[in-house]
Amino acid sequence: MSVIDVRELRKEFTVRVRAGRLRREKRTVAAVAGVDLRVERGELLGYIGPNGAGKSTTLKMLTGVLTPTSGQVRVCGLRPVPERTRLALRVGVVFGQRSQLWWDLPLRESFDLLRHVYRVPAAAHAARLRRCRDLLDLDAFADTPVRQLSLGQRMRGELTAALLHGPEVLFLDEPTIGLDVVSRQAVRGFLAELGRAGDTTLVLTTHDLADIERLCPRLVVIDHGRVVHDGPIAALHDRYGSRRLVVADLDTALPQPPELPGAPLLRVEADGHRLVFALESAGVADVVAALAGRAALRDVSIVEPDIEDVVARLYAGKEGPLVNASGRAGAPS
């Protein structure tokens, strides 16, 4: 059974829009417009989309905060809204812009309180806390009131708080937003470690695509409340034809640009001193070897495809026919 099973999920809001000087018109807006999603135990799922695409709304429906307008939701086999408190014992949630911690109390006391709130046996609680303390370096600020913590410290506290009851699913809404480089690395490293252990399912929304590249083998892209991509990042590159590039700097320009099988020449720059090839079927070694046989190479670099570009194109709607990249059910666009 899937840990998360969502079918035809919709959430509509009524907004009042000004129409004329005094009149206001009611209009119905679908924040989530028919999302289908199945997530298996231990999966690491990146859930991304532009602002207002419906990411947070989806997460709030999965955790029982918001009542869906229609559709089916099961998380850990439970219906989130009617069985909210039972579900809360089995999932953890980190909302980057909401705190689960007690503002005026030392971090350590929040952890202790959560043990009572989630009814965690003392031994299990202590073991989980010890693990987080080591991995997230909590000891340095465990006795500081939460209101005095830096954002990075607080986020590490939030992560720990969300994991102390041993959740089966961890939902993370923008966990790295506003963090400095060091804290971001710490959070990512910690989540990667958690994912490797394999028994926690992670669902992560983010604006920082590096989070996804680092952590999530599976990427779901949502736009205007619908799933527009569901599959590995590589499948997204395939679909949009984004490829790795080989950039070769030559000592002397070649009279005629070489033709390499499986690696078409994209551009010639710097008066023929720089050649840019796209890697299709050829490997990096093939291209470098072929070039080295014909010209004096000064430098070779490999440029990874830029996921941001791909996603920007996806949001802009410049796409071919919608392919279901992973073979999983995806909503028709």
Residue ranges binding other proteins (CB under 8 A): 13, 55-57, 60, 63-67, 81, 84-86, 88-89, 93, 95, 97-100, 102-105, 109, 113, 116-119, 145, 173-174
Q: Which is nearer to other proteins, 116 or 318 (CB)?
A: 116
Task: Report the C-alpha gap between 125 and 121 in whole angstroms.
Answer: 6
Q: Which is nearer to other proteins, 113 or 290 (CB)?
A: 113
Shortest distance in whole angstroms from residue 99 CB to other proteins: 7
Task: Report the C-alpha gap between 162 and 279 in whole angstroms.
Answer: 42
Shortest distance in whole angstroms from residue 158 CB to other proteins: 10
Shortest distance in whole angstroms from residue 63 CB to other proteins: 6
Q: Which is nearer to other proteins, 100 or 326 (CB)?
A: 100
Cβ contact 301:206 at 8 Å: no
Which residues neighbour 47 within 8 Å (Cβ) at sequence distance 6 or greater? 55, 58, 59, 203, 204, 205, 220, 222
Shortest distance in whole angstroms from residue 34 CB to other proteins: 20
DSSP string, 240-252: HT---EEEEEESS
Straight-line distance from the first to the last Cα atom of the chain, in angstroms, rounded to the nearest whole number: 26
Q: Which is nearer to other proteins, 66 or 275 (CB)?
A: 66
Shortest distance in whole angstroms from residue 238 CB to other proteins: 31
Task: Report the C-alpha gap between 65 and 59 in whole angstroms.
Answer: 9
Q: Which is nearer to other proteins, 95 or 141 (CB)?
A: 95
Task: Report the C-alpha gap between 56 and 62 in whole angstroms.
Answer: 10
Task: Report the C-alpha gap between 242 and 35 in whole angstroms.
Answer: 26
Cα separation values, 195 from 4, 91, 92, 130, Å: 16, 15, 14, 18
Q: Strand pairing partners for 229?
A: 221
Phi and psi at residue 162, to the nearest 5°:
-75, -15
Cα separation values, 308 from 9, 122, 316, Å: 27, 44, 12
Q: Which is nearer to other proteins, 120 or 291 (CB)?
A: 120
Shortest distance in whole angstroms from residue 33 CB to other proteins: 17
Shortest distance in whole angstroms from residue 325 CB to other proteins: 27
Q: Which is nearer to other proteins, 157 or 231 (CB)?
A: 157
Shortest distance in whole angstroms from residue 275 CB to other proteins: 44
Residue 275: CB atoms within 10 A of its CB come to 24
Q: Are strands 245-250 and 91-95 parallel, antiparallel or unpaired?
A: unpaired
Q: Which is nearer to other proteins, 86 or 130 (CB)?
A: 86
